[in-house]
Amino acid sequence: MTTTSHNVVLHVDDVRKTFGGLHALSDIDLAVEEGKTHAIIGPNGAGKSTLLNVIVGRLAPTSGAVVFDGHILTGKQPHEINQLGVARVFQTPEIFPDLPVLHNVMTPAFAKRDGSYKLHIWENLLDEKTIQEEAESILQDVGLWERRMDHAGALSRGDKRRMELAMCLIQHPRLLLLDEPTAGMSRHDTNTTIDLLKKLKERGMTKIIIEHDMHVVFSLADKISVLAQGRIIAEGDPEDVRNDPKVKEAYLGGAN
């Protein structure tokens, strides 16, 4: 079991996930502290995305439990977990390609309580105006304000990822999960995203990041957990992890 602490907001306790005879996750214990950035790294197939899917309710663990802010997430539907303050930016952007960027960002703020994302923004013009102003402000933060009326499907992969981040931020999450947030971005856009995520940290937002780019990881992470073959093989602050022989062998030794 994870060691409890007054500032630990997410516990992953002894979680296992099997698919037939494949052990995707084995005995995963994770403690994420409030206001911190916790990175999860590891080679392809290590179980990183599976772990995020278990946290957000897309996959049920074979055993173990996930607890967020005193709420047991295990057994809850994804929209119920989202309503508790957990939002996720997916590895493959999930957007509304035929809607303008601005409406994509506004839509989650009007999501019905059942978790659907049906537009009903015309029902309350005051709310619509307030949310539009907030969406435009967030788009300014992520560098997409000038493209706010472009169809989302016309964006580059990197811009789609930034737009999906904006879609999460308008939900005011307490915990933000990012799966490869800089994938497909140029170095300039990557550095812009790093700066944005640092600002979110200054505002006290808790984040879990899966990322292959070690520049991003070591720029942002307060704590790093290293997965290999479904197990955590190392954990600690960035410098400890960087110098861990097991990590170098399993992952960092093969990175540029």
Distance CA 99, CA 174 (A): 27
Q: Highest-confidence range of 85-94, 144-153, 157-166, 185-194, by mean pLDDT?
A: 144-153
Predicted local distance difference test score (pLDDT) of residue 121:
46
Note the pLDDT tens digit of each residue in 40-74.
999 888 999 999 999 999 999 999 999 999 999 99
Q: What is the mean pLDDT of the chain?
A: 86
The pLDDT tens digits for 183-228 are 878 888 888 889 989 988 888 899 999 998 999 999 999 999 999 9
Model confidence pLDDT, tens digit, residues 79-109: 899 889 999 887 666 788 999 999 999 988 8
- What b-and-e string marks burial along 220-239, b requiring 16 or more CB atoms within 10 Å of the CB? bbebbbbbbebebbbbeebe
Can you list the domains of the chain with their CATH numbers?
Answer: 1-85+175-256 (3.40.50.300), 92-172 (no CATH)
Q: Is 80 exceeded by the pLDDT of residue 13?
A: yes
Look up residue 115 and give its amino acid: G
Position 255 scores a pLDDT of: 46
Q: Specify the higher pLDDT residue, 256 or 248.
A: 248
- Side chain identity, residue 79: H
pTM assigned to the model? 0.85
Length of the chain: 256
Residue 247 pLDDT: 82
What beta strand segments (E) does 147-230 contain? 175-179, 206-210, 223-228
For residue 211, count other CB atoms closer than 10 A to its CB: 22
How far, in Å, CA of 135 to CA of 196, rounded?
A: 15
Long-range contacts (CB closer than 8 Å, 24 or more residues apart) made by 161-165 = 161/89, 161/93, 161/185, 162/189, 162/193, 163/93, 163/95, 163/101, 163/104, 163/105, 163/139, 164/89, 164/90, 164/93, 164/94, 164/95, 165/89, 165/193, 165/196
Q: How far is CA 125 from CA 79, 101, 121, 136, 147, in A?
A: 25, 19, 7, 16, 23
